[in-house]
Amino acid sequence: MSATVFGSQVKRREDPRFITGRGRYTDDVQLPGMLYAAILRSPHAHARIASIDTSKAAQLPGVVRVYTGADLQDRMGTIPTAWLPPESDIKTVAHPALAVDTVRYVGDGVAMVVATDRYTARDALDQIHVRYEVLQAVAEQELAMAPGAPQLHADAPNNIAFHWKVGNATDEVFAQAEVVVRHRIRQQRLVPNPMEPRASAAQYDPSTGELTVWVTSQNPHIHRFILSGVLGVPEHKLRVVATDVGGGFGAKIAVYPDEALVGFAARDLGRPVKWTEDRREHFLATTHGRDQVEDIELAGTRDGTLTAIRVKALANMGAYLSTAAPGVPTILFGLIVPGPYQIPYAGADVYGVFTNTTPTDAYRGAGRPEATYLLERMVDLFAREIGMDPVEVRRKNLIPKDAFPYHNAMGLEYDSGDYHRALNRALEMAGYADFRARQQQLRAAGRYVGVGCTTYVEICGLGPSQVAGAVGFQGGLWESSTVRVHPSGKVTVFTGASPHGQGEETTFAQIVASKLHIPVEDIEVIHGDTARIAMGWGTYGSRTTPVGGSALAVATDRVIEKAKKIAAHMLEVSEADVEFVDGSFQAKGAPQRRASFQDVTLQAYLAWNLPAGVEPGLEASAFYDPANFTYSFGTHLCMVEVDAETGDVTIDRYIAVDDCGRVINPMIAEGQVHGGIVQGIGQALYEGAVYDDQAQLLTGTWMDYAMPKARFFPNFETAFTETPSPHNPLGVKGIGETGTIAATPTVVNAVLDALAPFGVREIPMPLTPQRVWQAIQNGREAE
Amino acid sequence: MIPSAFTYERVHTVDEALASLAANPEAKLIAGGHSLLPLMKMRLAAPAALVDIQAIRNLHGVREVDGQVVIGALTTHAEISAHPVVRSLLPALAEAAAQIGDLQVRNRGTIGGNLAHADPSSDLPAVALAYNATLRGLSPAGEFALPADGFFLGPLTTAMPEGAVLTEIAFDVPPAGTQSVYQKVPHPASGYAVVGVAAVIGTDENGCFNYVRIGVTGAGDVAYRAVAAEAALMGQPPTDEAIQAAAGHAAEDGVMGEDLYASADYRAHLVQVHTARAIRRALP
């Protein structure tokens, strides 16, 4: 491969259209005769619908139709769940697109208005009169499991959605341990908040029976698959388009009631229909992330060796099971609990619990941040317990590089790694030893600085389809790619992955350019349209490059293989004697006999003189199923100062050393790390959805829910080590989620390290100034 | 995020505005719109009519008159924070205006709209109190001039007469030699003040405090003057102990509010801490 393109900082080719307002987002779809939908959402967390009177709304000029749950229940299917963890007794409760007789969270859809403009549609919502019989509601998973709690679904006793267990950590292991640290952690609920809100538009062509649905999706083919079932439109008559999507962070994996409703209405009314959520709706009706209560035990020896970890987790699933939701606190969480350490015994025991809240689902990292957070917090508590430097505990227990492939206690095979190299690099960048010395001096002067460290490993590159099946994911996790070379040698690439901000229009072009030795500008990357791409599984789980990129590499190699045959014929040498060097096919030993790539592509299409048995054209597809997941890893370090008088936390430095295998574009990889860190620190310090005891969302706008802002952060210091994945053709791993996974515990560990003189062991996230201040007060009183 | 239907009218003189308000009791004045429109989009406010006063020319600008700086009600936060007269004579106002919202808000939002809206977490009320501002305007009953002290009655409630138009705000230029600062704890989500303290401080030839005015915003339902802290500081030497002791009284004149982000106790603590910091920062 050409070293100049693969691994170079090519500028993101998609950005000019994004930053000049020329993106083609779902809300940009504008069709003649278009109607606009608005959805009436329940103001109550739990209520029986006694009656709905839509007559006044229906009479408003401009209103075309008002639908209720009762109107639709026999005309469209319910919204399914697509991840069913095995042996978990999962209750896949019915989730109607509009509530029929009961609403189960604030934001649950009750009725839909379709009108000639969005203002009329919105006004009409206020004219729908719903009589609710309000029921007791419950927002917290522990309360929901308690006797006497309000019951959400008749077929899910005690609100238990599923119970899933994994691991080999027995009571005996802990009973015999020299040191056991026990701790309870709450992973607060987060609201994803991509810049583009969710939207959907649909158009039905009665002459062909084709329904086109534009939707803010990370996985349009999964949308097509599920919507086909919900709407009863066969897959070959259903086109799903998600060309430009303005961020997803997991919240655009799910198939929501809303896009099903829009598709239904477009077909029912025979006119295009569009719906776009507003930010208030986003807070209520788009899936949330995290929300776990965890009781953890970590065992080890006085000399710092970790021997066992187990966690009992209660995961708040919200009112219904969203598309991928059950896989998040189980497979994506439980299997990675032992993290990057040689811990022989590990276990996870997880309850998924229904509550009267917005359904939860994947949110950047999805399960892996939760696992990493609890492990990294526990390692710090363990270090404190035995009086050892937390970095030394990590160094001592990290899996050594000669132990790969490494099987963790849950049965995962970590493909490759050099964890100590990343740790050493980060410590060096940080000047860790010097910092510890300075910390002592500053403490003596009444200043509280701290350093936090996280060493992590991430399951990414989802994943081998066989494993997907074994863990209950109702789909494959391979990826498709087609490389179409045009007669002039220009190339169109089709991928089943569905990038929505990650930059694969650039990095995928770099992969092809490096193999074909053609300029990046000669390559167009097409994604996000089921009419143009046969099948694919989308973008999530840091899979796009390791799986989709590998599919592309394989397809490109197939193109080269065929081109070689044609070139051999042109050069009148045997195929074995042709080599592809710097963009030319040449005879081995006689490089003056050569044909350029463009000469060959032209001949492939002219087909005047092709070798026997070779078809015209130059195009190849690959359906790539990875042999394993791939495991990115790294070390993050953060230095903070706490203002003990106010509780304010200032992040002085943030250092990230990540290893995602071979890096295709360092600038894009670094950008992914930056965004991830910001989101991870968002959880640590700022974000948190709060419900009151009536399960009303109290943080429902950007006035109360604190999104991280650029000005909150110092410059991040990032670096990469490169340990190739041994099992995919590019040697790549994922980078989209590492920052989020590592940053949260890094920052919390740093703050708690700063507050060690006050004896503070725990502050619930987010670590707001008041909570930090309160912890200091409590610590001072205890002294 | 779509407001209820409303009518819109643009007026060009204060008299036209008064007439429109008189004709329609449901009408609200709109200037920059950055306080009112968010409420309307959430349908927390649904005025039937908006009277847009932005085109009234003589309500813009900053001028110096007889020991006062007089600022037209329609002057934007961006104009105020950049204005050389404000920066030299009312530095705490410049400092506060520069911290309101974000760039877009500062380019649109106006001083008059901000003060008349009387959001309890807004920055400017603290400054208006500290600089002994007078809020002037016209009502159906004629001209009015109200001191900032007493103007803010509660959340979104002021002493302005019904149907009135706020036209200008006159700030007393503090005595020569005084220093003034605005010290803010912004809410990480909204950017509004969790606590904001404006302090105008003067010291005599011995370094003892001889001029103290302190305005506090964000802490509760309404901005207030920290009179007890002012009194405690007067005549004191500028020592850490004296400042600390005086700042300890800074929450006494207000009723601390409580929300998800900050409890009443914590707010009171922040008021004290940031009053002390403001005073220290204002020392020569």
Q: Are residues A443 and A535 in the same domain?
A: no
Please check the confidence at residue A4 and state whether its pLDDT lies above 80: no
- Average pLDDT over every residue of A351-359: 98
CA–CA dist B81, B95 (Å, integer): 7
- Average pLDDT over every residue of A200-211: 97
pLDDT at A537: 97
The closest of A273, A282, A270, A267 to A113, measured between CA atoms, is A273
Please check the confidence at residue A3 and state whether its pLDDT lies above 50: no
- Average pLDDT over every residue of A386-412: 98
Q: Where are the beta strands (DSSP E) in A301-370?
A: 306-318, 345-354
Is B2 within the bounds of a domain? Answer: no
Q: Are residues B160 and B223 in the same domain?
A: no
Q: Which B residues 88-127 touch A at CB under 8 Å?
A: none
Best probe of the A interface among B105, B121, B260, by most A CBs < 10 A, is B260
CB contact under 8 A, A701 and B269: no
Number of compact structural domains in chain B: 3
Which member of A280, A702, A770 has the closest CB to residue B263?
A770
CA–CA dist A286, A540 (Å, integer): 17
A720 neighbors A426 (Cβ within 8 angstroms): no
Q: Where in the sequence is the domain holding B19, given as residue range(s)?
A: 7-52
- Average pLDDT over every residue of A523-550: 97
On the question of a cis peptide bond just before residue A16, with omega within 30 degrees of 0, the verdict is: no
Tokens of A109: 């859809």
Q: Are residues B61 and B158 in the same domain?
A: yes
A658 neighbors A634 (Cβ within 8 angstroms): yes
Tokens of A781: 């009183």
Q: Are residues A217 and A76 in the same domain?
A: yes
Instruction: Tell me the nearest-neighbour CA distance from A56 into chain B, angstroms.
Output: 17
Q: Are residues A530 and A443 in the same domain?
A: no
Domain at B184, CATH number: 3.30.390.50
Domain at B27, CATH number: 3.30.43.10
Is B132 within the bounds of a domain? Answer: yes
Which member of A118, A645, A770 has the closest CB to residue B2?
A118
Task: Nearest chain B residue to A711 by CA: give it.
Answer: B188
Task: Nearest chain B residue to A773 by CA: give it.
Answer: B266
pLDDT at A265: 98
Enumerate the residues of chain B whose CB falls inside 8 A of the CB of residue A61.
Answer: none
Q: Are residues B113 and B99 in the same domain?
A: yes
Instruction: Tell me the nearest-neighbour CA distance from A224 into chain B, angstroms.
Output: 30
CA–CA dist A147, A73 (Å, integer): 32
Instruction: Tell me the nearest-neighbour CA distance from A264 into chain B, angstroms.
Output: 24
Q: Are residues B207 and B245 in the same domain?
A: yes
Q: Tens of pLDDT along A756-781? A: 999 999 999 999 999 999 999 999 88
CA–CA dist B37, B51 (Å, integer): 13
Q: What is the mean pLDDT of chain A?
A: 97
B4 touches chain A (CB under 8 A): yes
Q: Where in the sequence is the domain holding A607, given as residue range(s)?
A: 478-624
CB contact under 8 A, A690 and B260: yes
Please check the confidence at residue B128 and state whether its pLDDT lies above 90: yes
ipTM (interface predicted TM): 0.96
Chain A with chain B: Cβ pairs closer than 8 A:
50
- Please list the helix, strand and coil fractions of chain A in percent, rounded to the nearest 5, in that order: 35, 25, 40
Strand order in the sheet with A590-596: A578-581, A584-587, A590-596
Strand (E) or helix (H) holding A70: helix A69-72
Confidence of residue B76 (pLDDT cuts 50, 70, 90): very high
Q: Are residues A675 and A550 in the same domain?
A: no
Please check the confidence at residue A2 and state whether its pLDDT lies above 70: no
Q: Are residues A617 and A631 in the same domain?
A: no
The residues of A whose Cβ lies within 8 A of any Cβ of B are 118-119, 122-123, 126, 278-280, 645-646, 686, 690, 698-699, 701-707, 709, 712, 768-770, 773-774
With 0-12 / 13-18 / 19 or more C-beta atoms within 10 angstroms meaning exposed / middle / buried, residue B284 is exposed
Q: Tens of pLDDT along A417-445? A: 999 999 999 999 999 999 999 999 999 99
What percent of chain A has pLDDT above 70? 100
| Residue in the structure block whose two tokens are 């709209």 | B113
Q: Are residues A233 and A299 in the same domain?
A: no
CB contact under 8 A, B266 and A774: yes
Q: Tens of pLDDT along A636-670? A: 999 999 999 999 999 999 999 999 999 999 999 99
Enumerate the residues of chain B whose CB falls inside 8 A of the CB of residue A767.
Answer: none
Is B1 within the bounds of a domain? Answer: no
CA–CA dist A235, A323 (Å, integer): 19
- Average pLDDT over every residue of A357-361: 98
Q: Are residues B95 and B193 in the same domain?
A: no
Domain at B159, CATH number: 3.30.465.10
Q: Tens of pLDDT along A708-717? A: 999 999 999 9
B195 touches chain A (CB under 8 A): no
Q: Are residues B81 and B150 in the same domain?
A: yes
Tokens of A724: 């190739």
Q: Tens of pLDDT along A117-172? A: 999 999 999 999 999 999 999 999 999 999 999 999 999 999 999 999 999 999 99
| Residue in the structure block whose two tokens are 């009436």 | A40
